[in-house]
Every structure is written in structure tokens, then in C-alpha cells.
Amino acid sequence: MKKLLTALLLFIVFAIQGKAQILAPVTWSYAAKKTSTTEAVIFIKATIDDGWHVYSQFVKEGGPVKTTITFAPSKTYALIGSTIEPKPISRMEKVFNMEVGFFEHSVIFQQKIKLSAKQTIVKGKLEYMTCNDEKCLPPDDIDFSIPVK
């Protein structure tokens, strides 16, 4: 019995340590706001830990993985234009040997949509990469689902 309790305790300690080592410096949140009976704006917000940054949607080839937002096709809405972002911070990054645009602390991406139903769920996927001054994490894909009422 004592060996079983010791093994269980060790398992819990290692599980907690393993989870604590996973870096997640970016948290994503989503919202939608109707601007009329036939249009809405989708908001996709990244909250970024201090010291980290997320790249713009408009990074040139040969640089880091740019943020890409893909919306699933639907009969209940249509995209109006492309996804917009605020003006990024831009600087020369030695690792990529190029000028790169990125965001610190937080960024909100916005997409206008035309509604063909009173209620819909906007689904899609975003891909992004986050770095700090010492390292970059592998690109991550996140599925999203945003109700528009």
C-alpha cells in the first residue's frame, strides 16, 4: 500500500511539472458584433504575454510564419473584404535577416461579414507563430467557432 501511495504521489508531481513546462504565451478570444441586420464584424483577439510577440498577416516569404486566418465557407454568411489588423511594430530581425511586422501585448484582427441568416456560427482556423528575443515556438493551429446573434 505504501509503494502504491508513493508511486501515485510521484506520478502527480511529474504530471504537474510536465504541465508547468508547456509554454502558452498567447491566449485567443473571439467575439462578433452585428452592425446592421445584414452585416457583422468578427473580432479575433490575441493576448500576448510580456516579452513575446505574434507576427502580422503580411510577412514576406523567408520570414517567420505569418498569422493566417481562414474562414470556413458557409451559406449563412459571406466575407466582405479581407481580415484587417492594426499597424504592426516593424523591425529588422537578425534570425530571418529581414524587416518583420509583429504585435506585442495584444492585437485584434477584424473581419466584416454579410449575413444571409438571422443567426449563424462563423467557423475557421488560425495559424500563428510566437517568438521572444531568445526563441520561437513551433507554429500553432487553432480552430474557432464564433456565434453571431
List the domain range (segments joined by +) for residue 84: 25-148
3 state SS of 132: coil
In a domain, 6, yes or no: no
Q: Are strands 53-55 and 106-115 parallel, antiparallel or unpaired?
A: unpaired
Q: In the chain, how many domains are there?
A: 1
pLDDT in tens, 88-118: 999 998 888 999 999 999 999 999 999 999 8
| Residue 19 is assigned to a structural domain of this protein | no
At 19, the pLDDT band (50, 70, 90 cuts) reads very low
CA–CA separation, 37 and 39 (whole Å): 6
pTM (two decimals): 0.84
Query: Do the Cβ atoms of 43 and 30 come closer than 8 Å?
Result: yes
Q: What is the pLDDT of residue 11?
A: 47
| Domain annotation covers residue 16 | no
Does a structural domain hold residue 4? no
59 falls within a domain: yes
pLDDT of residue 80: 98
119 assigned to some structural domain: yes
Q: Is residue 61 part of a domain?
A: yes
